[in-house]
Amino acid sequence: MANHYFKDTNSYFKLVDETHEIICVTTNFTNKCIAISFDETSGYDNMRDAFTDGAADVISEELFEVKRDEVKDYINENL
């Protein structure tokens, strides 16, 4: 099973095939958040297929982790 990493506008996605986990990190001037969901329907496959067919930019795991850490630090500092 594989992990897939994508960027769409200001959102960075990690899709985990093994668990159908979707992690979205959003960072811009007005919004910084991390959302996690699990999809046991065909939604996960549809999203993965759309992203791998060019609906979003493929990114590296390292870039995703940098953005995730940036948002985590922001949340920790402002809560």
Give the predicted TM-score (pTM) of the model.
0.87
- pLDDT (0 to 100) of residue 28: 86
Digit-coded pLDDT (tens) for 26-71: 988 778 898 999 888 888 999 899 888 888 899 999 999 999 999 9
Contact indicator for 52, 59 with CB cutoff of 8 Å: no
Average pLDDT over residues 16-32: 90
Task: Note the helical H segments in 1-79.
Answer: 43-50, 61-78
Per-domain residue ranges of the chain: 3-78
18 pLDDT above the threshold of 70: yes
1 pLDDT above the threshold of 70: no
Does 9 or 1 have the greater pLDDT score? 9
The span from the CA of 76 to the CA of 60, in Å, is 25
